[in-house]
Amino acid sequence: MTSKILLIILSLFLSGNFSEEETNKQSEEELQEDFLVGEFQRKELEQNPYSYWFNSGYSNYQPEEKHMKVIKENISDYEIVLFMGTWCADSQLEVPKLYKILDQAGYDYSKLTNIAVDPNKETPNHIEENYEVNLVPTIIFCKDGVEVNRFVEFSLETFEEDVADIVSQKAYKNPYADF
Cis ω on the peptide bond leading into residue 137 (within 30° of 0)? yes
Domain 38-167 has CATH 3.40.30.10: yes
Is the per-residue pLDDT at 16 higher than 90? no
Question: DSSP label at 37?
Answer: -
Percent of the chain with pLDDT over 70: 82
137 within 8 A of 153, measured Cβ to Cβ = yes
Helix (H) or strand (E) holding 113: strand 112-116
pLDDT of residue 47: 96
For residues 152 and 172, give the distance between their C-alpha atoms in angstroms, rounded to a whole number: 11
- Of 23-37, 79-93, 128-142, 143-157, the range with the lowest mean pLDDT is 23-37
Give the CA-trace dihedral at 168, 84, 53, 25, to 10 degrees: 180
**Residue 33: its pLDDT value, please?**
60
Q: How many helices (H) and strands (E) does the chain have?
A: 7, 5
Average pLDDT over residues 136-148: 97
Q: Is the pLDDT of residue 149 over 90?
A: yes
**Bridge partners (DSSP) listed for residue 60:** none
Model pLDDT for residues 59-111, shown as the tens digit of each residue: 999 999 999 999 999 999 999 999 999 999 999 999 999 999 999 999 999 99
Domain ranges of the chain: 1-33, 38-167
